[in-house]
Amino acid sequence: ETGVTQSPTHLIKTRGQQVTLRCSSQSGHNTVSWYQQALGQGPQFIFQYYREEENGRGNFPPRFSGLQFPNYSSELNVNALELDDSALYLCASSSTQGAYGYTFGSGTRLTVV
């Protein structure tokens, strides 16, 4: 069974630009969650998608948005990038809406300059 894959692995963007990060969920998993991990901190919950609908959101502004597709893969979009958006973005999939049994991807390292 394949795990969670994220692309790209690394990305450099300029302040004010927009970025799209992608995630393929583990086979059999229908729920995808996104987390932001800033340097020296633990992952922070951005939002979760279940059946193509946003199903819970953390304390992030509306310029952070997402999509889930019928094959359960997902995108995270960030508009008007700020320097503080520089972080590791982690995608996690699970087979239920709960937080049990998360499988995390290796993440996308975003640097905003």
Contacts to other proteins by CB under 8 A: 4, 31, 33, 35, 40-45, 48, 55-56, 58, 90, 92, 97-107
> β-strands 10-13, 108-112: how paired?
parallel
**Shortest distance in whole angstroms from residue 36 CB to other proteins:** 11
Cβ contact 54:48 at 8 Å = yes
Nearer to other proteins, 21 or 92 (CB): 92
Of 105, 108, 57, 56, nearest in space to 86 by CA: 108
Nearer to other proteins, 18 or 88 (CB): 88
**Shortest distance in whole angstroms from residue 38 CB to other proteins:** 10
